[in-house]
A = this chain, B = another copy of it.
């Protein structure tokens, strides 16, 4: 029996679009706002101070060890909200699907999005579905945008890092990119590395609830471009120097090994469930201790600090005692990583 596939008319805006939405989306994402089937969601937020973000996901392959494009699309946008200290509330879900895409794959992605929403405590309240002729895109792209509510008094921003801040990472770096790479290149020697895709509001929320939000000066998730790139971004935005201890950066041996073989630098690898926080030096141990009690922060550690000079420069003190400058990513290591 032939498997059911997406047709152009599923993107027509007519009857087949409605059936696709009612039978496949609403069933999984069920909530009163979405069920109204208006072209927009209407809601009240606990605060009129909001964070708003968007990301498109074009990852290849769409299913990979540790996740899929659907999980990524929910977690990635939740994480961009969480990095401002906001409580993620509502997401949009816009699908662009290639004609001929398998319904069974779509179902798998939607269920994965539903599960990720449940874990992150967010709801998909509005959406859009387009179908493009065969060859017009590669399989499926997903855009999620998100709205979160932000407490007064929180000003976590790339410009707010200060001299004396400690720099924390929430766990092992590089797993996501190596997991994708292993799948894409059929690298069978990489067997245990899963994408780290995870909702980071589960790491940040407890810090803010504990009253530590004011000590988080800058926070960002090191996705494309990896740790080195976002450290450079924040050093530049805050006009400070950054000094990192190579020995302290948590990277799995298997990831290091894969990098050596492929000629990659692990400090530039993309992550999808890690954060880097610039934390007031006086409170860094307290933040670290609480972060390590969260599900996705168990391997958190302090990897370096903010220094006065040289401004806008990231330095790495290597294991053998020298220092080298870590620049921003200039050429892509692996396209379509998220």
Contact = CB atoms under 8 A, between A and B. Distances in A.
A128 interface: yes
Given A8-B332, A84-B40, A92-B53, A138 B136 contact: yes
A83 B127 CA distance: 15
A220 B39 contact: yes
A310 interface: no
A201 interface: no
Interface stretch (A100-108, A140-148, A277-285, A318-326): A140-148
Interface in A148-191: 148, 150, 157-159
Copies in the complex: 2
Interface in A98-152: 125-128, 130-133, 135-138, 141, 143, 145, 147-148, 150
A49 interface: yes
A225 interface: yes
Interface string A52-88: 1111101010000000000000000000110110100
For A11, A147, A335, which residue has the most chain B Cβ atoms within 10 angstroms? Answer: A335
A94 B270 CA distance: 19
Given A39-B80, A52-B90, A15 B336 contact: no
A95 B54 CA distance: 10
B42 A45 contact: no
A268 B125 CA distance: 27
B336 A147 contact: no
A222 to B, nearest CB: 9
Contacts of A157: 36, 38, 42
A13 B56 contact: no
Given A42-B84, A56-B143, 4 more contacts: A9-B330, A12-B332, A39-B220, A54-B93
Interface of A: 8-9, 11-18, 36-56, 58, 60, 80-81, 83-84, 86, 90, 92-96, 125-128, 130-133, 135-138, 141, 143, 145, 147-148, 150, 157-159, 220-221, 223-225, 229, 233, 237, 268, 270, 328-333, 335-336
